A and B are shown apart, each in its own frame.
Chain A
């Protein structure tokens, strides 16, 4: 008669133990996904910052080359180059504004873990987390997030318009005989490719995390805790086709 309750008690303890192990496994997986999203987000923002900076370098070189007597355009900077400069400046400023509101963060990378200064120039209001203590581009941040995405998309378009040939003419950035422009353009092309990579990896991490967050045990036992649901980063990130990558000397 006394065997029965003991058996039940043992079974209950074992089941609780098994559940505990299972839940901590799920929590560990989810934690790892959140870390992955955070790292990927930081990498994406850094890649975007580097692209913006590389574009400004390119524009500066192009403006110098415009004064080149050997074939510059007599100090006149073509319109696509001006738009390129405006787009890059706007993208960097918008990024600063987003970061200033507490960063990309769903966590430590945004503040606390890393000095915002390490992450790049934080913009005018990079002083700290937002007043309401929320961290992500959730809440009011959604609008800022949208502005950020639009600004980066505009930069991608401006870059293509200024670099790629159209109507039988070479791109406005390229139409000067300057080795410096050529080098900086290669750097911009590499930075634009890094943006594509970083964005794919970030959205991939977001997709995995959102799927994990939908699963039953995660919702039932609130394994996500207070972590905000990460959002996709949707921009036009198509890189420009540079004339140099299209026509290299035939070495074969």
Chain B
């Protein structure tokens, strides 16, 4: 039986990001399972090609949030759009992503009454937004019937700030879409190659760590090259790479979807040098789905996804010497690379969207099981009518 589900994404739809991709893939997977889906998200570029099920929630503004710049929509106009979307949507249930984010997510929590599911993506023990707001946010958060965390770290973060509990459902990856692709022209090349994918100007993505490791390796390996793919200005991260090695660093910038898949197939060793704050690592699971031989930092989220090192080598986060040693060993050992590649393809299957979306749908069914039954409310999602004086009169009578 199909459900009518409203998904809320707090970040600008036309800017690539983990949460946006998660919501988009989930929407596709749910639609494929026969559910009706509508996605509400801020959209900056009105010319951008949007999927049919997307409802724009207004122009986003950039605000610093959780260590990066988030593009969010907040304010009376966004609030009005959220209310209209809820009023006209006729949803059985809302699934709000990053509900504490000061954007349409929080607005939707406030505006909606009825079955709410929320997914927490952030894993940041010192999330200021969550800490500052935990009192003010509570009235919104306590309306949520079912909470999902995408990683153990994200779950801990939310338990510390908000109390309660959440079920763990990892991010999904469209494994089949990454399984096979031609390498980009000229790659991986004869002399060996290292790969990086992600925002290059965000320090916590760790490109600077990889750059230092590359310098160390490049001295003794004349053919070694480094592929850097992702949006942003890489100059700061590559500051430690001397001029004579610059020609061996290929900065590709932002890649198209198709080229991104090819990039995972283009290098001998794929590096995920993140310093932390990564609740899950969509890039990591994509690389696994592509069957890349991976060296990743040993932050808890990555160690968990890589089966504690069985599906990819782990190095001490932030330690470029350790990264250089492990990447070097892998470059020299083709058999080990093949072994890790096969293990990665196997391990990533637990994170395939088919598996993940089925679990999310089961959450919906659990939350909806008794919605509307016997407590005098209509079923489904409606607008919150605010404080009611009758609640004072019927205290304790549910």
Contacts and interface: CB of A to CB of B under 8 A. Distances in A.
Interface stretch (B44-52, B99-107, B163-171, B197-205): B163-171
A52 B238 CA distance: 60
A24 B395 CA distance: 10
B387 A211 contact: no
A109 B373 contact: yes
B370 interface: yes
Interface stretch (B77-85, B139-147, B250-258, B272-280): B139-147
A200 B179 CA distance: 35
A166 to B, nearest CB: 22
Given A108-B374, A113-B374, A34 B398 contact: yes
Interface string A39-50: 110110011000
A204 interface: yes
Interface in B382-398: 386-389, 391-392, 394-398
B362 A35 contact: no
B359 interface: yes
B165 A42 contact: no
Interface string B348-372: 0100000000010011011101110
A12 B355 CA distance: 60
A219 interface: no
Contacts of A194: 362, 365-366
A207 B164 contact: yes
Interface residues of B, number: 46
Given A21-B387, A225-B396, A200 B167 contact: yes
A203 interface: yes
Interface in A213-242: 222-227
B27 interface: no
Contacts of B166: 200, 204
A24 B370 contact: no
A18 to B, nearest CB: 12
B345 interface: yes
Interface in A19-76: 20-21, 23-25, 27-36, 38-40, 42-43, 46-47
B345 A224 contact: no
B375 interface: yes
A13 B175 CA distance: 64
B367 A43 contact: yes
A36 B117 CA distance: 12
Interface centre among B141, B176, B362, by most chain A C-beta atoms within 10 angstroms, is B362
Given A200-B166, A252-B349, A222 B375 contact: no
A88 interface: no
A39 B366 contact: no
A38 B372 CA distance: 11
A223 B167 contact: no
Nearest to A105: B398
Interface centre among B146, B345, B376, B398, by most chain A C-beta atoms within 10 angstroms, is B398
Contacts of B388: 24, 28
Contact of B143 (A32, A46, A113, A252): A32
A29 B139 contact: yes
Interface residues of A, number: 53
Contacts of A25: 386-387
Given A29-B142, A222-B395, A197 B387 contact: no
A35 B391 CA distance: 12
A90 to B, nearest CB: 24
Nearest to A28: B391
Contacts of B370: 39, 42-43, 46, 109
A91 interface: no
B389 to A, nearest CB: 5
B145 A27 contact: no
Contacts of A190: 362
Contacts of A223: 392, 395
Contact of A47 (B175, B345, B366, B392): B366
Contacts of A43: 366-367, 369-370
A245 to B, nearest CB: 9
Contacts of B142: 29, 32-33, 36, 208, 212
A109 B349 CA distance: 40
Nearest to B175: A252
B366 A201 contact: yes
A193 B371 contact: no
B92 to A, nearest CB: 14
A24 B387 contact: yes
A27 B395 contact: yes
A181 interface: no
A79 interface: no
Interface in B117-156: 139, 141-143, 145-147
B81 to A, nearest CB: 24
A28 B387 contact: yes
A196 B167 contact: yes
A96 B391 CA distance: 32
A34 B143 CA distance: 11
A236 B58 CA distance: 46
Contacts of B291: 252
Given A46-B370, A197-B362, A225 B397 contact: yes
A27 B392 contact: yes
A109 B375 contact: yes
Contact of A252 (B165, B345, B365, B398): B345
Given A20-B392, A222-B395, A226-B397, 17 more contacts: A24-B387, A25-B387, A28-B386, A28-B388, A30-B391, A43-B370, A108-B376, A109-B374, A113-B375, A113-B376, A204-B164, A208-B141, A208-B163, A223-B395, A225-B395, A252-B175, A252-B349
11 contacts: A20-B389, A24-B389, A25-B387, A31-B398, A109-B398, A198-B366, A201-B147, A203-B165, A225-B396, A250-B346, A252-B346
